Amino acid sequence: MQSQVLTPMIINSVTNGRASTKSAIDWHTKRDWNIDLIKTGERFVGQLQSIENKVVLSTTLAPNMDFCTGGGTSYIMLSDFISGGPVNDNFTLK
Task: Using a cut of 0.75, tell me whether the model's pTM lies above it.
Answer: no
Q: Express each pLDDT in 3-62 by its tens digit.
A: 877 877 776 665 667 778 888 888 888 888 888 888 888 898 988 888 888 888 889 898
pLDDT, residue 45, reads 92
CA dist 41 and 4 (Å) reads: 18
- For the chain, the structural domain boundaries read 2-80
Residue 86 has pLDDT above 70, yes or no: yes
What secondary structure, in 3-state letters, does 15-54 show?
Answer: EEEEEECCCCCCCCCCCCEEEECCCCCCEEEEEEEEECCC
pLDDT of residue 27: 85
Q: What is the mean pLDDT of residues 78-86?
A: 84
